[in-house]
């Protein structure tokens, strides 16, 4: 076995330490901020939450808060920095919609399909496009709405998502309680 000279051993030790220092100091730790869709105030006399079957586009099935980017009119979506949803978006949306619908006294089973649920290209609104159908087939409808983003940053964007869901619940409730004909 060949013996390494002390000078070679020292050079190897210095190179190893230098590599370790570069690796340790190369990038600061990433701080991820988790956001949830908060529940609103509970209305007195709220009914039991309705059974809700929710579907949403596959591109929303991720933990990142998505915002429009690029010159393609907002068709390109990118994650908003290190901001993430604290729960799967479908779970949070269903939780908030059930809460809002129960607060409005609506208990019938519903199927809701979100077709779009993201910030507009100028990031001044959250656009929500949905259609729904009650389990009894008597209440069906759709809505396209814009909720303003008031303020800057992820918190304002989350608040606008929440406001859009409250408005959707109001529209579903109004359609479901409207007399037929």
Say if residue 20's pLDDT is above 80. Answer: no
| Neighbouring C-beta atoms of residue 180, cutoff 10 Å | 5
The predicted structure's pLDDT at residue 30 = 79
pLDDT tens digits, residue range 96-145?
A: 999 999 999 888 889 999 999 999 988 899 999 999 998 766 678 999 99
Indicate the pTM of the whole model. 0.79
Separation between Cα atoms, residue 138 and residue 35, nearest integer Å? 36
Q: What is the pLDDT of residue 159?
A: 96
Q: What pLDDT, in 10s, does the model give residues 133-168?
A: 987 666 789 999 999 999 989 999 999 999 999 999
Report the distance separating Cα 167 and Cα 164, nearest Å.
5
**Which superfamily does 30-177 belong to?**
ABC-type transport auxiliary lipoprotein component (3.40.50.10610)
Examine the pLDDT at 40 and tell me if it is beyond 60.
Answer: yes
Residue 46: pLDDT above 70? no
Give the confidence band of 41 by pLDDT, cuts at 50, 70, 90.
Answer: low
């Amino acid at each position: 076995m060949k013996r390494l000279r002390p000078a070679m051993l020292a050079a190897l030790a210095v190179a190893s330490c230098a590599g370790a220092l570069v690796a340790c100091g190369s990038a600061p730790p990433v701080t991820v901020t988790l956001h949830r869709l908060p529940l609103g105030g509970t209305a007195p006399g709220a009914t039991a939450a309705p059974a809700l079957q929710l579907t949403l586009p596959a591109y929303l099935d991720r933990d990142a808060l998505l915002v429009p980017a690029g010159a393609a009119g907002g068709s390109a979506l990118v994650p908003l920095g290190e901001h993430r949803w604290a729960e799967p978006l479908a779970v949070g949306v269903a939780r908030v919609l059930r809460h809002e619908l129960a607060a409005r006294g609506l208990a019938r089973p519903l199927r809701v399909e979100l077709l779009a649920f993201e910030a507009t290209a100028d990031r001044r609104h959250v656009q929500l496009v949905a259609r729904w159908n009650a389990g009894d087939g008597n209440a069906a409808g759709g809505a396209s709405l814009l909720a303003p983003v008031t303020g800057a940053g992820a918190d304002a964007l989350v608040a606008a998502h929440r406001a859009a869901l409250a408005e959707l619940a109001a529209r579903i409730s109004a359609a479901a309680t409207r007399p037929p004909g």
